[in-house]
Amino acid sequence: MTDNRNGGIPHQPSSGAFPAKSWGAAYGVPLTGPEHAPAWVKGLTGFGDNGHRGAFGEEFIRMLATAANLDVTRKERDRVGVDWQLGYAGRKGTRRFPAIEAQVKCTSSPDVHGDHIRYPLKVKNYNLLAGPGFEMPRFLFLVLAPADPFTWSHATEDHLLLSHAAYWMCLHDQEPLPMDNRSSTATRTVYVPRANLLTVDSLHDLFAEEYRDLVTS
């Protein structure tokens, strides 16, 4: 087994995607506080709350997967720790129509360190990702969004910018934790490598046989 700090295989050198500080006004997008909120916001409930942030994180993943030309299916009832199932046709000479599953988390207060992001994952959710015995590989996708919901997206005639980024982690090489009466609220800190930046290329890399071998071993 590998230590859970490396996020599974294959290990990638740190790309330094973001500094450990200054998440607030990334990419030069101006902050828009509540005092400058447009009229449409005042008629909404839940703008910027945890539910809104979670929905943004899930759509962030869907947008990225669609750009990667992957088939994306939402799990409408999250009973087994899966938000999205991703699949594609497969390259010549590889498994046909492979698929992976993803549990998506989104945070605006990341505990960012030099080469990893510390994230407290509920034991229940951890166990739904850890160990072998699954039909297909599962991954944790951690989306880091600005604290200011007005800066989650920035659209112009030239581009649509979504802030900030998403990272992946594989836990199939880790042992599930024992459950007890406290497990509904207990957490397990995972160390999501900052080298594991989710991109169009790295999404396709997650369909490698190495990860399928982890769930069938």
- How many residues comprise the chain? 217
How much is the average pLDDT of 95-106?
88
Question: What is the pLDDT, as a whole number, of residue 115?
Answer: 93
Report the C-alpha gap between 148 and 146 in whole angstroms: 5
Would you say residue 24 has pLDDT above 60?
A: no
Question: What is the pLDDT, as a whole number, of residue 48?
Answer: 79
Long-range contacts of 25-34 (CB under 8 A, 24+ apart): 25/151, 26/146, 26/151, 26/163, 26/164, 27/154, 27/161, 27/163, 29/151, 29/154, 29/161, 29/163, 30/151, 31/148, 31/150, 31/151, 32/148, 32/150, 32/151, 33/148, 33/150
Would you say residue 44 has pLDDT above 90?
A: no
Beta strand 99-107 with 138-144 is: parallel
Give bridge partners of residue 100 from the DSSP assignment: 86
From the list 140, 135, 132, the residue with the least C-alpha distance to 99 is 135
From the list 69, 2, 17, 3, the residue with the least C-alpha distance to 196 is 17
Q: What is the pTM of this model?
A: 0.80
Question: What is the pLDDT, as a whole number, of residue 68?
Answer: 93
